[in-house]
Amino acid sequence: MRVFVTGATGWVGAAVVEELLGGGHQVLGLARSKEKGDRLAAGGAEVLLATLDDLAALRGAAAAADAVVHLAFNHDFSRFAENAAQDRRAIEALGEALAGSDKPFLVTSGVALIAPGRVAVETDRPPRDASFPRRSEVTAAALAERGVRAATVRLAPSVHGVGETHGFVPMLMDLARRSGVSAYLGDGENHWAAVHVSDAGRLYRLALESDVRQTVYHATDEEGIAFRDIAEAIGRKLGLPVARRDREHFGWFADFASADMQASNRLTREALGWQPTGPALLADIADPGYYAG
């Protein structure tokens, strides 16, 4: 099939594109710059040079595709509400082009805040609280009323792998280097789900090839890793002490550092026959090549 992928040059997007091309599919990838587009083309994909604000271009690409994967999201947290609004407009534009077509449409969100204090499952619904501005999953679900076969892939808070530079774990490593301590909040017994980037990429391909018959998929391999264990792994790698710190140490990241973000993948594995095979998060953090370059 011919698949239009937004965020095609990003960390997860690149893995999705590689999986799709390796599976014999054609890919049209959205790229914001010629430099990124050239890298995408070198891997065998076609390129659409545009941004998420180019709604007409998004509609045209979606209409000409057999399926759409939406991964692009600006993770500048200083402008989170604005970026969430941009994301909503992009999903709505893509949905308009797919209305009544029964073409599969995968939207991306996360397991964070789905079920605070317990293990999230695929049948849990996302929060509708106005204080949570990102509406990716809610927007996608509303498209079903317009004949769009949309589903959401919820990514783990850590989508890891050698070469990762911008995710939550790299942020923690950078903070540890700058502060001289690898820190955790409270007792550090809150847990984060995790998944290797290659496993996440394969999940998107399998979901498309299954005709997207489930409304939510969980891209989570490890159900939950204690935050303190993550801090200790980072401390060992960097040769830094590991210690409890208060919220001020983490700044804006404190809510994530203290969050319990566990998630099951049982229904996803049953629906897709998906079996994660990549390295575990703590093993990745211990890899000498992690974050190199």
Phi-psi region of 211 (alpha: psi -120 to 50; beta: other; left: phi over 0): left
Domain ranges of the chain: 2-157+195-220, 158-193+223-286
Distance CA 197, CA 200 (A): 5
**Pairing status of strand 191-196 against strand 222-226:** antiparallel
Backbone angles phi, psi at 77, to 5 degrees: -70, -10
Helix count (H) and strand count (E) of the chain?
Answer: 12, 12
Q: Are 141 and 180 in contact (CB under 8 A)?
A: no
pLDDT for 143 equals: 86
Mean pLDDT of the chain: 92
In the block, residue with structure tokens 């792998």: 161
Q: Which two tokens stand for residue 63?
A: 């209409």
pLDDT for 4 equals: 98
Length of the chain: 293
In the block, residue with structure tokens 């317990």: 118
CA atoms within 13 A on the CB side of 291: 16
- CATH classification for the domain delimited by 158-193+223-286, as one of 3.90.930.12, 3.90.25.10, 3.40.50.720, 3.40.50.300: 3.90.25.10
Model confidence at 133, pLDDT cuts 50, 70, 90, reads low
47-79 pLDDT, tens digit each: 999 999 999 999 999 999 999 999 998 766 667
CA atoms within 13 A on the CB side of 54: 14
Q: In the predicted model, is pLDDT for residue 131 greater than 60?
A: no
256-280 pLDDT, tens digit each: 999 999 999 999 999 999 999 999 9
Within 10 Å of residue 247's Cβ, how many Cβ atoms? 13
CA atoms within 13 A on the CB side of 189: 3
Distance CA 163, CA 292 (A): 7
Within 10 Å of residue 189's Cβ, how many Cβ atoms? 11
Tell me the H-state helices in 43-196: 55-63, 80-98, 136-142, 168-179
207-256 pLDDT, tens digit each: 999 988 899 999 999 989 999 999 999 999 999 999 999 999 999 999 99
Distance CA 197, CA 71 (A): 13
pLDDT for 207 equals: 97
Q: In the predicted model, is pLDDT for residue 291 greater than 90?
A: no
Q: Identify the CATH class of 2-157+195-220.
A: alpha beta
Tell me the H-state helices in 120-226: 136-142, 168-179, 197-209
169-217 pLDDT, tens digit each: 999 999 999 999 999 999 999 999 999 999 999 999 999 999 888 999 9
Of 252, 65, 72, the residue nearest 168 (C-alpha): 252
CA dihedral sign, ordered 281, 111, 12, 164: negative
Give the global pTM: 0.94
- Show contacts of 124-133: CB within 8 Å, 24+ apart: 133/80, 133/81, 133/84, 133/85
DSSP designation for 263: B
